[in-house]
Amino acid sequence: MKRRRILATVAMLAVGSGLVACSSDEGGSGASNCTNTITKQNVPVVTMWGWYPNTQLVVDNFNKLHDDVQVCWTNVGQGGDEYDKFQTAISAGTGAPDVIMVEADRIPTFQIQGALVDIKQYGYDAVKANYGEGAWKDVSVGDAVYGVPVDGGPMGMIYRKDIFDKYKISPPKTWAEYEQAAQKVKDAGGPLFGDLGANVPAVLMALQIQKGAAPFTFDPAQPKSIGVKLNDQASKDVLDYWGGLARKGLVGTQDQFTPEYISGVINGKYATYISAAWAPGYLTGAGVGKGQDTGKFAVAPLPQWDPANPVQVNWGGSAFSVTKQAKKPELAAKVAYGLYADKESLTDGWTNQIIFPLNLTALKDPAFVDLKVAFFDGQQANKEVYLPAAEAYKGVAYAPFGQYYLDAMTKQVSEIIKGSVTGSQAADKLQEDVAKYAKEQGFTVQ
């Protein structure tokens, strides 16, 4: 609480105006404060924001390989931090970089504000064959392409072998088996089986899509109308299922990506972690799977609702987009297409488990396919789980107001966790909330 000055009230109001924050000139074409060092002089420079842990290497590789353009990279924060800054730059009309790393699900949000450039005319055909169909769909709005896929998040079920062995269970193949196994472990006095985190609404969205939900339908030819369907039976079923697991005490209700959650994962408090292909890298970085926990983890395909018709889903994954503020969009597009697309960068990415690449040259590389993942005690996780999941992934149409939708979902999941609503009621409330917002934003909601 700021009580130091009586005028703090007014100062706070001033902050609300956003005037203070948006005058930064990091982006633009003045490439004076790059994180990387540009060695080639008198070459046009393209500015870029990104947060891959190995961006430095990726940028250096790109700059080495190109003589007609150089990249000036700044890390302005990860995920939401970067989006907030980009959003502010969009509102201000200045301050954005030429190329920006965005998660695929955010692309429509920025696209609808006219902040991104359709890069189809700038060399799409040359690289089209390098990525799968689902990967392109995730970065497209209608026929227009607003990003170059880099990494994806095919989902799987990470589990602890020691816990599964101790309670004599095998990896569940369906969600029904998942619940039975959870019950069995609980009855035997074992740990929680999984976690329902209110701050990871994207996981629940993916799981709803797995059961057949199609949250948003959006035809760019009719940009004023949008289909919002968040309370269909599939969406309700999934929320009811997870709400039920939480109510029965089978799964925890901890926010993920927090010290509390990670300490739980390290201490064997959770038997499974429903997550994406980038999770091993993240968990390793957070200190999981080391010391006495070495080799305790394994991964199995995501449980299914109908094992006869398996559906694979995706969580996370990013792309490089060209912003409208880029002065030379063609040059910027060249950077977007070329960054993280050379073999050396990709290999560094997947060997260090930083990314699950979407570039087919990497996906078809036998070294990648047969990789024995150290985190999973030498299990060939790519071949067994993630590659089939990535190949079967069909892509999703994301909402042009993704941030609001995910915030609203978080709110409802918190209510489910509190026990104040059932999953079905939460889905109905979510529908009402998001549809109302869509109308406020000028859409016709179907």
Partner 1 sequence: MTLLTEKRARRPENETRKIRGKVHLREHLMGWLFVGPFAVVFLAFLIAPLAYALYLSLFQKKLIGGTSFVLFDNYVKAFTDPSFLSGAWFVIRFSLVSIPLQIVLALVMALILDSVTTLFARFSRLMIFLPYAIPTVIGAVMWGFLYSKGFGPLTDIFGLFGATAPDFLGSNLIFYGLLNVVTWQWAGYYMIILYAALQGVDPTLYEAARMDGAGRWQIATRIKIPLIAPALILILVFSLIGTLQFFNEPQILRYLAAGTIGSDFTPNMYAYQQAFSLANFNYGSAISFALGGIVFICVYAFLFFTRKRRSFL
Residue 216 pairs with which residues in a beta bridge? 228
Cβ-based nearer residue to partner 1, 81 or 165: 81
Alpha carbons 334 and 316: distance in angstroms, whole number: 24
Q: Rule CB under 8 A: say whether 80 interacts with partner 1.
A: yes
Q: Rule CB under 8 A: say whether 243 interacts with partner 1.
A: no
The minimum distance between CB 168 and partner 1, in angstroms, equals 27
Candidate residues 24, 174, 199, 347; the one interacting with partner 1 per rule CB under 8 A? 199
Alpha carbons 326 and 329: distance in angstroms, whole number: 6
Candidate residues 169, 198, 250, 299; the one interacting with partner 1 per rule CB under 8 A? 198
Question: What does DSSP say about strands 444-445 and 216-218: parallel, antiparallel, or unpaired?
Answer: unpaired
279 three-class SS: helix
The tokens for 272 are 């499974």
Cβ-based nearer residue to partner 1, 259 or 366: 259
Q: Rule CB under 8 A: say whether 443 interacts with partner 1.
A: yes
DSSP class of residue 26 equals S
DSSP class of residue 445 equals E
Candidate residues 223, 268, 295, 310; the one interacting with partner 1 per rule CB under 8 A? 223
Candidate residues 24, 56, 75, 403; the one interacting with partner 1 per rule CB under 8 A? 403
Q: Rule CB under 8 A: say whether 404 interacts with partner 1.
A: yes
Cα distances (angstroms) measured from residue 381 to each of 168, 236, 280, 395: 22, 31, 10, 22
Q: Rule CB under 8 A: say whether 142 interacts with partner 1.
A: no
Displacement of CA 313 from its chain's centroid (Å): 12
Alpha carbons 242 and 428: distance in angstroms, whole number: 16
Q: Rule CB under 8 A: say whether 88 interacts with partner 1.
A: yes
Total residues found in the chain within this entry: 446
428 three-class SS: helix
Query: Considering only 37-45, 133-141, 362-370, 411-419, which stretch makes contact with partner 1 by CB under 8 A?
Result: 411-419
Cα distances (angstroms) measured from residue 136 to each of 290, 321, 402: 36, 13, 18
Binding mask of the shown chain, residues 17 to 36, with x at each position contacting partner 1 by CB under 8 A: xxxxx---------------
Query: Considering only 14-22, 59-67, 278-286, 381-389, which stretch makes contact with partner 1 by CB under 8 A?
Result: 14-22
Q: Rule CB under 8 A: say whether 6 interacts with partner 1.
A: yes
Cβ-based nearer residue to partner 1, 207 or 438: 438
DSSP class of residue 113 equals T
The tokens for 51 are 């947060």
The tokens for 244 are 């039920």
Query: Considering only 211-219, 232-240, 352-360, 413-421, which stretch makes contact with partner 1 by CB under 8 A?
Result: 413-421
Question: Measured between alpha carbons, how far apart are the two ends of the chain, in Å?
Answer: 44
Q: Rule CB under 8 A: say whether 3 interacts with partner 1.
A: yes
| Ranges assigned E (strand) in 64-178 | 70-74, 99-103, 140-141, 144-145, 148-160
Q: If you write DSSP's letter for every residue of 210-240 in order, what string do you get? A: HTT---EEE-TTSTTEEEE--SSHHHHHHHH
**Interface positions, 150-189, toward partner 1 (CB under 8 A):** none
Cβ-based nearer residue to partner 1, 61 or 412: 412
The minimum distance between CB 24 and partner 1, in angstroms, equals 14
Closest CA to 302 of 294, 314, 289, 291: 314
Candidate residues 413, 427, 434, 435; the one interacting with partner 1 per rule CB under 8 A? 413
Binding mask of the shown chain, residues 256 to 295, with x at each position contacting partner 1 by CB under 8 A: --xxx--xx--x-x--------------------------
HSE (CB half, 13 Å, CA atoms) of 165? 6
Candidate residues 221, 224, 292, 308; the one interacting with partner 1 per rule CB under 8 A? 224
Residue 227 pairs with which residues in a beta bridge? 217
The minimum distance between CB 352 and partner 1, in angstroms, equals 27
Cβ-based nearer residue to partner 1, 328 or 411: 411
Q: Rule CB under 8 A: say whether 84 interacts with partner 1.
A: yes
What is the number of other CB atoms lying within 10 angstroms of the CB of residue 424?
Answer: 16
Query: Which positions touch partner 1 (CB under 8 A)?
Result: 1-3, 6-21, 80, 83-84, 87-88, 90-91, 112-113, 197-199, 223-224, 253-255, 258-260, 263-264, 267, 269, 400-401, 403-404, 407, 410-411, 413-414, 417-418, 440-443
